Amino acid sequence: MSQEVKSCLLQLSIGPVQEFIAAARRTRDLWFGSFMLSEISKAAAKALKDAKAELIFPEPDGDLNPKSELNVANVILARVHGGHAEMRALSDKTRTAAVERFKAFADEAYKKAERCIVKERWDKQIEDVIEFYAAWTEIGTGEGAYKAARQRVARLLAARKNLRDFLPYEGEFGVPKSSLDGLRESVFRDGKVPAIAGLRLKEGEALDSVGLIKRVAGDERFPSVSRVAVDPWVRGAREETLRVETLRELTPHCEALVKAGAISRVRGGEAFPYEGTAVLLSRHASMLAECGDKEGANAACKAIAEILSRLRPQDRPLEPYFALLVADGDRMGAAISEIGDMERHQKFSSTLSKFAGKAREIVQEHSGVCVYTGGDDVLAFLPLDTCLPCARELHDAFGELLKDYKSIKDQRAPTLSVGISIGHAMEDLEDLLAFGREAEKVAKKGVGEGSLKAKTDRNGLAVVVRSRGSGAVVVREQWGDRAEETRALAKVSLDERLHYWARLFADGAIPNKFPYELRENVEFYRGWEAGDVLKAAMQDDIKRIFRRKDVNLSDKERNRVETYIDAALCGSCQIDRLQNELVISRGDARDIDRLSDELLIAQWIGFGVRQAKGGDR
């Protein structure tokens, strides 16, 4: 009598996430760590599929070949037929595939630097890197069996990950730790640093095996944040004959910097395929400190400085600020929990994969670079002038693709919250990432404790500016529908309103000192008793500032702005979008505070808009 074959759900978790992704000093570390984790997870998923498992996450029909565009998350779910012994054997086979893919990256890096590596230390570290956890459970029969099994296997995997059944890593006394995270010892022999293009270590820095793999494995050069920051200037240069010639003149000297090991060529950006530090004069000194051929690099830097000196100050590259975008789906857990069968779960997985592909396209169309797009998560670097339109398109694309997955309870489909953090390209990358994730949390949770009660949490856009030497400035609202250009500002969504102010700054219609003058008014009115007298005083004061001679607004624009002041600043709360905690007027100095924050953030975006237009033309 033949024994009935069991149907099981197998769930895998692969890591380390922290060491691969979070530990990063350069964008190359961040991007390649994300790419490598996806490739390792992809190899594991392929091993499952080759063994006739039915994939659920990642999507069943995705391209699982190495270096395909499919991003695979580090948690994999599949249905497999077999008993306990078959599950264990398949788990071991999948782990082997993941480890072998990682070792392929390791071998590539080792070959480039073997003369300077302590082989025994390298081998010991490589064997200890990959984290692999597996759990499985039988799928019962009857209604709700798949859903119950999915919830059960998730609990089993979480419990399995809490069992720390491995020996602690044994370090070596007296050997410097990796400069990226300090977890493991440097693999360099006697402190010798290999002369490899793209390694770019400062004096005294060291890398362990994972850090070196992220820095030198693969041939592709990922654009640095400095290149993203100068992109508006590059695009603006193409709009002006004189500056087109400037780009041509810069090319041989940028090539000299590449040859000297001071910068790298980057993919994309055909008009200027170099790191942005090449044209940022304030960065030349530190760039020279990290390169091999200092004499050649110094000559190139002097030539670049001379070329840029011929441009008007406003036509030169600005301080390198850029936008870090972090997006995450809302109510995804609720959407998945309501999926009752495997086929619909696979369809949901395919839908998320479509969004990931669409997200890459959207970011690229907006002159940005994707670090990671997987499922409902997006991490990208964007120029100042394109970050808001990009965020809008990502939000709308996500909503369109997920519109059929409405909650049974409240009929709300998943939405996308987007956090944008504007920061200086020379800030520590780990700090920039933390700022971006904080912005995403604000976008998702709202500002203050009242957001959850008022149901204004999630489906949010938050923009945070962290300029050097200043505290964070934050604005946040829930997403609204796209509006006509003539619509009242109080009824326009935050992204469109910020872009409107940014255009006014870029065109010179509003002077750059304007937000700071508003802040001075805040201090004047702070402490006044709320009421009609204060509202009238604030209304007159702010409108007076907008009517000054150095504010070049048309009558139509002035009327639009003053109507917004009445609605948002002065207690007139008859606004379509009152549910938004940042549009509701309190009728006191905090209203001016809020407007000045909005204008200050728009001003930063306006800097990018102006440069992309070709300066003050």
CATH of 7-178, picked from 3.30.70.2220, 3.30.430.20, 3.40.47.10, 3.30.930.10, is 3.30.70.2220
Low-confidence winner among 174-188, 212-226, 481-495, 517-531 (lowest mean pLDDT): 517-531
Higher pLDDT, residue 198 or 59 = 59
Q: How far apart are CA 249 and CA 280, in angstroms?
A: 16
**pLDDT (mean) for 292-307:** 92
Alpha helices in 220-318 (DSSP H): 225-229, 231-237, 241-259, 284-289, 294-309
What pLDDT score was predicted for residue 2?
45
Higher pLDDT, residue 470 or 563 = 563
Task: Say yes or no: do domains 7-178 and 319-479 share a fold.
Answer: yes
Q: Which has the closest alpha carbon to 444: 471, 472, 416, 410? A: 416
Would you say residue 218 has pLDDT above 90? no
CB atoms within 10 A of CB 545: 15
Q: What is the pLDDT of residues 62-73, one digit of tens each?
A: 999 998 989 999
Peptide bond into 252 cis (omega under 30): no
Q: What is the pLDDT of residues 104-145, one digit of tens each?
A: 999 999 999 888 899 999 999 999 899 999 999 999 988 889
Structure tokens of 397? 């694309």
What pLDDT score was predicted for residue 55?
97
Mean pLDDT, all residues of the chain: 86
Most confident of 279-283, 566-570, 572-576: 279-283
Would you say residue 572 has pLDDT above 50? no
Which top CATH class is 319-479?
A: alpha beta
Q: What is the pLDDT of residues 469-478, one digit of tens each?
A: 677 899 999 9
Q: How far apart are CA 326 and CA 436, in angstroms?
A: 6
Q: How far apart are CA 19 and CA 30, in angstroms?
A: 10
Q: State the pLDDT confidence band at 481, using cuts at 50, 70 and 90.
A: confident
Q: How far apart are CA 411 and CA 398, in angstroms?
A: 17
Instruction: Show the CA angle centred on residue 83, arms to residues 79 and 88, nearest 5°.
Output: 80
What pLDDT score was predicted for residue 5?
65
Spell out the domain ranges in the chain: 7-178, 225-310, 319-479, 482-616
What pLDDT score was predicted for residue 429?
87
What pLDDT score was predicted for residue 452?
52
**pLDDT (mean) for 7-36:** 89
Task: Give the helix/strand (H/E) hosting 386.
Answer: none
Instruction: Show the CA angle centred on residue 22, arms to residues 458 and 427, nearest 5°.
Output: 90
Would you say residue 75 has pLDDT above 90? yes
Low-confidence winner among 126-135, 391-400, 566-575 (lowest mean pLDDT): 566-575
Q: What is the pLDDT of residues 334-378, one digit of tens each?
A: 898 888 899 999 999 999 999 999 999 999 999 999 999 988 999
Low-confidence winner among 182-196, 224-238, 359-373 (lowest mean pLDDT): 182-196
Q: How far apart are CA 397 and CA 155, in angstroms?
A: 32
CB atoms within 10 A of CB 9: 24
Higher pLDDT, residue 596 or 192 = 596
Would you say residue 580 has pLDDT above 80? no
Structure tokens of 391? 């965020």
Q: How far apart are CA 228 and CA 242, in angstroms?
A: 22
Task: Give the helix/strand (H/E) hosting 467.
Answer: none
Q: State the pLDDT confidence band at 7, using cuts at 50, 70 and 90.
A: very high
Q: What is the pLDDT of residues 398-435, one digit of tens each?
A: 999 999 998 877 788 999 999 999 999 988 888 899 99
Most confident of 231-235, 236-240, 288-292: 231-235
What pLDDT score was predicted for residue 484?
64
Higher pLDDT, residue 481 or 465 = 465
**pLDDT (mean) for 466-471:** 77
Q: State the pLDDT confidence band at 36, using cuts at 50, 70 and 90.
A: very high
